[in-house]
């Protein structure tokens, strides 16, 4: 299959003209991401900061107190020591949304590098809050396990303790929010473009010429990369300035990965557009696909490690899941290329498969 | 006369519904072939099949002797297709639309502009090329569409109801263009609802419910049915076939 780049270019230029002349697309590209991150950022900030968590410290050791300190330092939880006998009572009475019972051997086990136990009780009536809490606590636990079992120096624990942003709940959620918003935006951008051509009948004309499905697909994606990129940049700036999210990683690496994520989501949008053939249907599908899995299965709210096996496997096909890993890794931990090879590889694979699928579906459509 | 289009026992089904039912005909080079029939008769489906846009259930279509099922990419440069829906982009100017179509046929913008000017002269099209297509009258839009499908200089042009919904004066002008093209050796395959337009055709095929119920030159049809205008011819043929169905 030979690819004629001049046709791809013509397609892309035409698409650019549509975009420039259609205020709606430009407004969507620039305003929607900022509006979303401000809205959700503040909602999350209002709702989920400073959740009271009861601590029943049966271990009463240096290690257990360190865990509580870290919990507190994040700003997401407000730990309160509990000395009564029935810890369920305040939860049942709605006085507290969460509790942690630290096993009496916690300190000893950590010292001996054995598994140590903490039991977390959450009020599940607010599912989202509970989910966010689990995800946050497991983040901290992962951190602690790494620090304590991973053989790192005490000095490093201190510095992380003071400066490591992963301990901040707000930062944790805002960086996750960035992933969802950039993804949703990119999916929406392209979801309408091909179905619009079907609806208006111009697709028939295109297909009667020599242009090939792959040329249409590539020509359609190209201009939106630029637009989505600006959207992502705006989200990034908002996250950094308004919400004060720190950035510890390599900025170039981050934007390269972001680029691949954007292309993955744009290709997903194209596939939706090819399948649906109608603008309204495309819009609905991309809203559902852009929001639901990226909220629920990407690790944004519910930690992937705690999911049933089926869902854990399902997350593998989500670009959001991989970019979530990249985003949190680069943003908060300063992860480098080698740490992020797997997610990066998965994004590229996803991208490739989406484009192939869109072209295949295109072909069979014509033959109906 | 040489044959350019040859259709043999073409049948097209959508699920259990037969949209085109075992039709055969051929069209000679330089002819104007009129394809007539009521709404839903299957005209568009036949054209789409010839242009490779619909799957054929059975039968075969040949253009210049090449089977479209196996040699579509070879055939595409030889055919022009103007679809029933208006398919140019309304938010682009005339020139932008034309250059985009030209690029789809791998012409660069210099070649595209040259072809555009030639075609505008040929069709006597006088609008400003930088006008947005949405501001054009129905007749002008159709002329631009026609030019767009003539850019690559195809041998045969498929026009699906090119004169639907445009003014009577524009219709006459448009048909003059079709005749001019035919005079210059192009084959034109056109569908229409207007019986008065059928008189310009060399051959007419009348379709009904997926079948061709009459196929001949306008003169022969008039003679066979003993009518002196085409409207009466069609009324007569259709009422006769209805009779056949009932009996
Ligand atoms: N993709 C499709 N799937 C199912 N049915 C179809 C499809 N395309 C066309 N049909 C049906 O086939 C029949 C013939 O349609 P076609 O568009 O060819 O008619 P037409 O003669 O062009 O009519 P018109 O004058 O309205 O343009 C119609 O009944 C139509 O509903
Ligand atoms: Mg039709």
Phi-psi region of A33 (alpha: psi -120 to 50; beta: other; left: phi over 0): alpha
Distance from the alpha carbon of residue A186 to the mean position of ligand 1, in angstroms: 36
A203 neighbors A366 (Cβ within 8 angstroms): no
C-alpha separations of B145 from A94, A344, A365, B83, B112 in Å: 70, 46, 24, 9, 15
Which-ligand-closest: CA of B17?
Answer: 1
Summary mean pLDDT of chain B: 91
The side-by-side arrangement of strands in the sheet containing A118-122 is: A77-81, A51-57, A98-102, A118-122
Check if A154 contacts B (Cβ < 8 Å): no
Strands B211-216, B203-208: pairing kind: antiparallel
pLDDT band at B62 (very low <50, low <70, confident <90, very high): very high
Q: Which residues line ligand 1 (CB under 6 A)?
A: B 14, 17, 19, 37, 39-45, 84
Mutate to test the interface with B, among A3, A5, A9, A208 (most CBs of B within 10 A): A208
Nearest CA to ligand 1 atom 26: B39
How many Å lie between the alpha carbon of B221 and the closest alpha carbon of chain A? Answer: 33
Q: How far apart are the C-alpha atoms of A330 and A324, rounded to whole Å?
A: 10
Residue A265 CB coordination number (10 Å): 33
Predicted pLDDT at A125: 62
Q: Which residue has the higher pLDDT, B130 or B165?
A: B130
Predicted pLDDT at B246: 41
Compute the count of residue pairs across chains A and B with CB atoms less than 8 Å apart: 72
B187 neighbors B4 (Cβ within 8 angstroms): yes
For residues B106-113, give the mean pLDDT: 92
Listed by number, the residues of chain A in 239-298 with a beta carbon closer than 8 Å to a beta carbon of chain B are none
Token pair listed for B11: 């049948």
Predicted pLDDT at B49: 93
The helix (H) or strand (E) run that includes residue B32 is: strand B32-37
Predicted pLDDT at B216: 92
Q: How far apart are the C-alpha atoms of A37 and A74, rounded to whole Å?
A: 21
Token pair listed for A32: 């929607």
Specify the 3-state DSSP secondary structure of B156. strand
Mutate to test the interface with B, among A209, A219, A365 (most CBs of B within 10 A): A209
Burial A212-233 (b: 16+ CB within 10 A, else e): bbbbbbbbbbbbbbebbbebbe
Specify the 3-state DSSP secondary structure of A290. helix
Specify the 3-state DSSP secondary structure of A125. coil
Expressed in angstroms, the distance from the first to the final Cα of chain A is 21
Test B51 with A200 for CB contact under 8 angstroms: no
Q: How far apart are the C-alpha atoms of A161 and A366, rounded to whole Å?
A: 59
Distance from the alpha carbon of residue B209 to the mean position of ligand 2, in angstroms: 13
Distance from the alpha carbon of residue B90 to the mean position of ligand 2, in angstroms: 22
A123 neighbors A81 (Cβ within 8 angstroms): no
Digit-coded pLDDT (tens) for B219-236: 898 888 888 888 888 888
Check if A367 contacts B (Cβ < 8 Å): yes
Nearest CA to ligand 1 atom 10: B19
At a CB cut-off of 8 Å and minimum separation 6, what does B75 contact? B52, B63, B64, B66, B68
Test B101 with A14 for CB contact under 8 angstroms: no
Taking 90 as the threshold, does the pLDDT of residue B148 lie above it? yes
Nearest CA to ligand 1 atom 29: B40
Q: Selecting from 3.40.50.620, 3.10.20.30, 3.40.1710.10, 3.40.50.720, what CATH number does the domain A51-149 have?
A: 3.40.1710.10
Query: Could you please report the per-residue DSSP string of B46-107?
Result: HHHHHTT-S--SEEEEEETTEEHHHHHHHHGGGEEEE-SS--S-TTSBHHHHHHHHHHHTT-
Distance from the alpha carbon of residue A227 to the mean position of ligand 2, in angstroms: 38
Predicted pLDDT at B159: 96
Phi, psi of A176 (to 5 degrees): -65, -40
Among the partner-chain residues A6, A17, A368, the one whose CB lies closest to the CB of B106 is A6
A79 neighbors A72 (Cβ within 8 angstroms): yes
Nearest partner of A261 among A193, A214, A320, A330, judged by Cα: A320
Q: How far apart are the C-alpha atoms of A203 and B89, rounded to whole Å?
A: 11
Nearest CA in chain A to B157: A208
Test A200 with B48 for CB contact under 8 angstroms: no
Q: How many residues does chain A have?
A: 368
ipTM associated with this complex:
0.86
Phi, psi of B229 (to 5 degrees): -135, 155
Which-ligand-closest: CA of B42?
Answer: 1
Test A7 with B53 for CB contact under 8 angstroms: no
What is the distance, to the nearest Å, from the Cα of residue A332 to the centroid of all Cα atoms in its chain? Answer: 13
Q: How far apart are the C-alpha atoms of A64 and B24, rounded to whole Å?
A: 87
Predicted pLDDT at B153: 94
pLDDT band at B121 (very low <50, low <70, confident <90, very high): very high
Predicted pLDDT at B38: 84
Nearest partner of A340 among A349, A353, A327, judged by Cα: A327
Nearest partner of B128 among B96, B101, B105, judged by Cα: B96
- Orientation of helix B94-104 relative to helix A5-21, angle to 10°: 150
Expressed in angstroms, the distance from the first to the final Cα of chain B is 39
Taking 90 as the threshold, does the pLDDT of residue B143 lie above it? yes
* CATH 3.40.1710.10 domain extents, chain A: 51-149
Nearest CA in chain B to A215: B104
Q: Which residues in chain B have their CB less than 8 angstroms from residue A8's CB?
A: none
A101 neighbors A59 (Cβ within 8 angstroms): no
At a CB cut-off of 8 Å and minimum separation 6, what does A255 contact? none
Token pair listed for B84: 């029933």
pLDDT by position in tens, chain A (length 368):
578 899 999 999 999 999 999 888 888 888 888 998 888 878 766 555 567 888 988 888 888 888 888 778 766 778 889 888 888 787 777 777 788 888 888 888 878 877 777 787 776 665 556 666 766 777 676 666 666 665 443 223 222 222 223 445 666 778 888 899 999 999 998 988 888 998 888 888 898 888 889 999 999 999 999 999 999 999 999 988 988 877 878 889 899 999 999 999 999 999 999 998 888 999 999 989 888 888 888 888 777 777 788 888 888 889 999 998 888 888 767 777 888 889 999 999 999 999 999 999 887 666 54
Q: How far apart are the C-alpha atoms of B20 and A19, rounded to whole Å?
A: 40
The pTM score is: 0.78
Q: Which residue has the higher pLDDT, A205 or B191?
A: B191
Q: Which residues in chain A have their CB less than 8 angstroms from residue B54's CB?
A: 367-368
Q: How far apart are the C-alpha atoms of A300 and B238, rounded to whole Å?
A: 67
Taking 80 as the threshold, does the pLDDT of residue B39 lie above it? yes
Test A368 with B48 for CB contact under 8 angstroms: no
Distance from the alpha carbon of residue A97 to the mean position of ligand 2, in angstroms: 65
Q: Which residues in chain A have their CB less than 8 angstroms from residue B161's CB?
A: none
Eight-class DSSP state of B123: T
Query: Could you please report the per-residue DSSP string of B197-240?
Result: HHTT-SEEEEEETTEEEEEE-HHHHHHHHT-SSHHHHHHHHHHH
Specify the 3-state DSSP secondary structure of B125. coil
Predicted pLDDT at A177: 86
Check if A5 contacts B (Cβ < 8 Å): no
Burial B41-72 (b: 16+ CB within 10 A, else e): bbbbbbbbbbbbbbebbebebbbbeeebeeee
């Amino acid at each position: 299959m030979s690819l004629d780049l001049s046709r791809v270019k013509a397609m892309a230029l035409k698409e650019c003209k549509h975009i420039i002349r259609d205020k709606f697309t430009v407004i969507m590209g620039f305003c929607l991401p900022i509006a979303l991150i401000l809205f959700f950022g503040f909602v999350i900030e209002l709702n989920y900061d400073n959740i009271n968590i009861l601590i029943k410290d049966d271990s009463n050791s240096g290690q257990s107190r360190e865990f509580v300190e870290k919990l507190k330092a994040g700003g997401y939880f407000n730990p309160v020591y509990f000395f009564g006998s029935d810890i369920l009572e305040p939860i049942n009475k709605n006085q507290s949304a969460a509790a942690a019972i630290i096993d009496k051997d916690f300190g000893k086990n950590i010292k001996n590098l054995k598994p140590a136990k903490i039991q977390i009780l959450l009020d599940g009536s607010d599912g989202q809050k509970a989910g966010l809490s689990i995800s946050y606590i497991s983040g901290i636990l992962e951190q602690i396990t790494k620090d304590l079992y991973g053989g790192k120096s005490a000095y490093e624990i201190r510095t992380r303790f003071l400066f490591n942003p992963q301990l901040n709940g707000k930062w944790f959620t805002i960086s996750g929010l960035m992933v969802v918003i950039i993804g949703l935006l990119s999916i929406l951008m392209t979801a309408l473009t091909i179905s619009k051509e079907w609806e208006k009948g111009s697709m028939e004309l295109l297909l009667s010429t020599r242009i090939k499905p792959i040329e249409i697909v590539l020509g359609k994606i190209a201009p939106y990369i630029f637009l989505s990129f600006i959207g992502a940049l705006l989200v990034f700036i908002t996250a950094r300035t308004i919400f004060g999210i720190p950035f510890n990683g390599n900025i170039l690496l981050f934007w390269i990965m972001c680029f691949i994520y954007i292309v993955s989501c744009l290709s997903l949008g194209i596939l939706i557009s090819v399948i649906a053939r109608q603008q309204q249907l495309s819009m609905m599908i991309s809203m559902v696909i852009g929001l639901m899995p990226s909220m629920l299965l990407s690790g944004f709210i519910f930690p992937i490690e705690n999911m049933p096996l089926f869902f854990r496997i399902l997350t593998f096909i989500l670009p959001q899941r991989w970019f979530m890993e990249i985003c949190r890794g680069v943003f908060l931990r300063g992860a480098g290329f080698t740490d992020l090879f797997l997610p990066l590889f998965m994004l590229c694979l996803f991208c490739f498969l989406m484009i192939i699928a869109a072209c295949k579906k295109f072909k069979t459509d014509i033959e109906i | 006369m040489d044959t350019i289009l040859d259709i043999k026992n073409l049948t097209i089904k959508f699920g259990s519904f037969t949209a085109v039912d075992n039709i055969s005909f051929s069209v000679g080079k330089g002819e104007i072939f009129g394809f007539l029939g009521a709404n839903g008769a299957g005209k568009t489906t036949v054209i789409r099949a010839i242009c490779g846009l619909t799957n054929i259930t059975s039968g075969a279509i040949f253009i210049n002797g090449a089977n479209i099922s196996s040699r579509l990419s070879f055939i595409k440069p030889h055919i022009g297709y103007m679809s029933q829906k208006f398919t140019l982009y309304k938010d682009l100017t005339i020139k932008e639309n034309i250059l985009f179509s030209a690029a789809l046929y791998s012409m660069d913008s210099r070649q595209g502009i040259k072809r555009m000017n030639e075609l505008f002269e040929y069709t006597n099209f006088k609008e400003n090329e930088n006008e947005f297509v949405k501001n054009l009258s129905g007749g002008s839009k159709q002329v631009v569409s026609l030019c767009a499908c003539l850019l690559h200089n195809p041998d045969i042009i498929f026009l699906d109801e090119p004169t639907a919904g445009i003014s009577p004066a524009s219709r006459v002008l448009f048909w003059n263009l079709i005749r001019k093209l035919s005079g210059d050796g192009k084959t034109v395959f056109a569908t229409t609802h207007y019986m008065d337009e059928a008189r310009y055709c060399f051959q007419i095929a009348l379709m009904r419910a997926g079948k061709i119920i009459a196929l001949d030159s306008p003169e022969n049809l008039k003679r066979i049915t003993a009518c002196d205008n085409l409207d009466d011819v069609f009324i007569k043929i259709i009422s006769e076939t209805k009779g056949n169905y009932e009996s």
